[in-house]
Amino acid sequence: MDRQKRIVRTSIVGIATNVALVVFKAIVGLLANSIAVVLDAVNNLSDVLSALITIVGMKLASRPADKEHPFGHGRIEYFTALAIAIMVLMAGMGSLYQSVLKIINPQPTLFTTLSLVILAVATVVKMVLSRYVRRTGQAVNSDALIATAEDARFDALVSFSTLVAAAVMMHTGILIDGWLGAAISLIIIKSGIELSTRPLNMLLGKRNDWQLTHDIRTDIENTDGVIAACDLALHNYGPEFVLGQVHIEIDDRLTAADIHRMTQDIQQRIRQKYGVLLTVGIYAVNTHDAEMVSIRQTIRSITARQPGILQTHGLYVDREHQQVSFDIIVDFAVKNANSVRDEVLRQVEQALPGYHVSINIDRDVSD
């Protein structure tokens, strides 16, 4: 079964389960005169809405690319996950408000054995549903499903706390419904904030996973003829569509045909192995001229001594036209990257009189 069908099927299971729970909890809450249970039933309605949002978001995100959106609509899934996270946050705030009212004006609740059994069953059902939805969400890399699973887990926690409050009241007469509700509400609010972090980061352009960029770079550098891989950047346009670019340093004596075969091999391998559509750029490196090698070593020695420079690459020496060009990766901790470049430029021009030196500033976009 493909990813879209699994997400939709899981969401439909969630809708059916929550509709059944709404009916059960509403009946129990009205019979027991428990605002907590009634609110819990209403919260299950919000879970139905979460599942519907997931389905609609999945349908919209799966639309093909068009002229206005040439990279597709996959990022809609992040908006969907963010919407559900906001719903979790709002539910937590609403629950906290009602819990405070219960603390200020406590009222006894009337539970029957039947109502407690139904609440216990609802708790188990929501925990099972949460695990099922989370497992699917992780399998298909769906933030929306994972957020929905968290919402279901907290529903189970709320129901369990209601059972605890009922047991305490029935045996001791002490009303702790409001206090338990307030504590759980704070947990839900915290979860809502945390759930919103990942989709927000993905929409803003979060730094890519270290392991992924490390593996891709290592894979490229293991290609015959590649001296080094640098400037790797990945751009996420949805869970299933990642674009990227990288530069490779190669011997400047290779022919266009050699380079074509090499870049084609890299692109196909990276796409098959990591699902990344990669554009490969070229840095020519003079590796056979002793004087050029010496100049390269001099420049690398200068940049290595400069604080804030993480890497030097793309270094090419054109002896015929007396030109030197290279890139430096400057740490984000450095506030004034231009001053770093100017200092390197001064030292390189001093070490290589007569050469025109061009330095490009790169940033540390991937590990």
pLDDT tens for each residue of 209-244: 889 999 999 999 999 999 999 999 999 998 888 999
Confidence of residue 195 (pLDDT cuts 50, 70, 90): confident
pTM over 0.85: no
CA distance 347 to 236: 39
Q: Which CATH superfamily is domain 210-363 in?
A: Cation efflux protein, cytoplasmic domain (3.30.70.1350)
Over residues 241-254, the mean pLDDT reads 92
CA distances to 16, 170, 266, 326, 357 from 341, in Å: 61, 74, 32, 11, 11
How confident is the model at residue 165, as a pLDDT?
74
**Is residue 264 predicted with pLDDT exceeding 90?**
yes
Q: Which residue has the tokens 């450095």?
A: 334
**Is residue 132 predicted with pLDDT exceeding 80?**
yes
Over residues 185-190, the mean pLDDT reads 82
Closest CA to 232 of 247, 211, 212: 247
**Is residue 118 predicted with pLDDT exceeding 80?**
no
Task: Compute the mean pLDDT over every residue in the chain, rounded to the nearest whole number.
Answer: 86
Beta-strand relationship, 356-363 and 323-330: parallel
Helix (H, G, I), strand (E, B) or coil at 313: strand
Q: Among 58-62, 91-95, 301-305, where is mean pLDDT lowest?
A: 91-95
Assigned architecture for domain 3-204: Up-down Bundle (1.20)
pLDDT higher for 25 or 347?
Answer: 347
How confident is the model at residue 162, as a pLDDT?
76
Domain boundaries, the chain: 3-204, 210-363
Closest CA to 359 of 348, 351, 246: 348
How confident is the model at residue 160, as a pLDDT?
80
How confident is the model at residue 266, as a pLDDT?
96
**Is residue 124 predicted with pLDDT exceeding 70?**
yes
**Is residue 181 predicted with pLDDT exceeding 70?**
yes
32-46, 86-100, 262-276 — most confident range:
262-276
User: pLDDT > 70: what percent of the chain?
Assistant: 93
Closest CA to 142 of 91, 202, 204: 202
Q: Among 139-148, 160-169, 191-200, 344-353, where is mean pLDDT lowest?
A: 160-169
How confident is the model at residue 153, as a pLDDT?
84
pLDDT tens-digit map of 1-58: 588 888 889 999 988 988 888 887 777 777 766 665 676 676 677 778 888 888 898 8
How confident is the model at residue 293, as a pLDDT?
84
How confident is the model at residue 32, as a pLDDT?
66
pLDDT higher for 209 or 180?
Answer: 209
CA distance 176 to 166: 9
35-49, 100-114, 175-189, 200-214 — most confident range:
200-214
How confident is the model at residue 114, as a pLDDT?
64
